[in-house]
Amino acid sequence: MTSTVPAPVTCTADGSALQAVLLDMDGTLVDTEGFWWDVEVEVFASLGHTLDDTWRHVVVGGPMSRSAGFLIEATGADIALAELTLLLNQGFEDRIDRALPLMPGAARLLAELAAYEIPTALVSASHRRIIDRVLTSLGPQHFALTVAGDEVERTKPHPDPYLFAAAGLGADPARCAVVEDTATGVAAAEAAGCHVVAVPSVAPISPAARRTVVTSLEEVDLAFLRGLITV
């Protein structure tokens, strides 16, 4: 995890109480949720199993242990969780080495947060080896802190990753804006007490208290995020 920790941010002149922005990675900043499913389909095909497309909504956004474990149980595949995890990570790395498209609006949002020196963290259920590969495209300079799924005892949908990120940035979770694309990530952020902007990628997400749903990151900018958390 990176360790540069900016000073806490107080209320701005416009009344915003925003202290930090915490961003998911797969499906939120990079268009990779489909990559994971394609790799899972290919790996299980090599094992002699066909994945049911309805399972995609079950495994999206979750930690590798949960997703891989579910697919082993659902298919009855004769493979250990550790071996499957290795195959899935390797297949994903091969795909992002060929292409890593950013989500529309992602580059602009990251540049704006950096320009205004907003404390920003990348919070992902993906493993550190994957995050570090993706950071070469996103730009590690955009994040004061990054949190990987294999670096916390409990990853999403538990609140731990977002609580860890907020603490690392010296921010109150209630004054953090989280951007997520899956119900699993939204559950983690809300359990941590953050305000969530949901940009659904695979499955729909409904608006709720302290949750704003948009169709694209192109609708999200700093003014929008500041407007979510006011005094």
Each residue of 184-220: pLDDT tens digit? 999 999 999 999 999 998 889 999 999 999 999 999 9
Question: What pLDDT does 61 receive?
Answer: 67
pLDDT tens per residue, range 8-27: 444 444 457 999 999 999 99
Strands lying side by side in the sheet with 195-198: 145-147, 120-123, 20-23, 176-180, 195-198, 211-213
The pTM for the full model equals 0.80
Q: Label residue 113 by pLDDT band (50, 70, 90).
A: very high
Collect all residues with Cβ–Cβ distance below 8 Å to 230 and sequence separation of at least 6.
15, 16, 17
pLDDT above 90 as % of the chain:
72
Q: Does residue 120 carry a pLDDT above 60?
A: yes
- What are the C-alpha distances in Å from 229 to residues 111, 114, 117, 120, 210? 21, 19, 17, 16, 9
